[in-house]
Amino acid sequence: MEKIYKYIEEHVTRQGEALDWVEKQTHIRTNHARMLSGKLQGELLRILVQISGARRILELGTFTGYSAICLASMLPEDGHLDTLELNDELEDLILEGFDRAGLSDIIELHIGDCKETLVRLRSEMGLGQGSKTAVADKMYDIVYIDANKREYCEYYDLVFDMIRPGGLILADNVLWDGKVCMDPLPQDKQTVGIASFNDMVSADPRVESVILPLRDGLNVIRKK
């Protein structure tokens, strides 16, 4: 399997100078470089944006900005990406990466608690106070979830009405190092959160979905 993975990596489209820089800085300036999406998943994100014709994207969990750059790089000139990150210590690194990629004008970074920011964005879309109808031109075409694993179910509920019919929810780390397959299921909050999310999605008649065994698992969910 290691040889196959290496072969695939050698045959994926080159990631570009800005992503090279973000990857290098992530290794130098953080202790969590394994959290990077990486070029295989990054290229898949780019292709999904392109073939879906997405114009507005929401990302939960920026980290150092790698996946945001991949997502935004395929948006049209009038496209927009909102990306949410809790750790304000990463802000300078993130913004420099966006600038190096030439994407600062179409990416807006929101620093703060993810759920609190989502509530604010929902309100701006006309989804406050129990409303289920968003302003049409503010709805998102793609939502990429890669934040606190304990809260994936809550994120799903919060973003569902923010996505247009036919839009995509992409959820990362849904295999969680294989822990979701263990019997009995480990009871740490991250594993329980991811397993509950996968069960929720598979039982939701409003969507169709497939889990791709790429890196740590990517759930591709289409809203009907």
| Phi-psi domain of 85 (left: phi exceeds 0; alpha: psi -120 through 50; beta: other) | beta
In this structure, are residues 20 and 14 in contact, taking their beta carbons and an 8 Å threshold?
no
The pLDDT tens digits for 155-187 are 999 999 999 999 999 999 999 999 999 999 999
d(CA 127, CA 162): 8
Res 184: pLDDT: 95
Residue pointed to by tokens 């106070």: 129
Q: What is the pLDDT of residues 61-81, one digit of tens each?
A: 999 999 999 999 999 999 999
Rounded distance between C-alpha atoms, residue 194 and residue 87, angstroms: 21
Lowest mean pLDDT among 30-44, 137-151, 207-221: 30-44
Burial of 19 (0-12, 13-18, 19+ CB in 10 A): buried
Q: Where do the domains of the chain lie, and which CATH numbers do they carry?
A: 2-223 (3.40.50.150)
Torsion of CA 82, 71, 49, 83, to 10 degrees: -20
Strand 80-85 to strand 107-111: parallel, antiparallel, or no bridges (unpaired)?
parallel
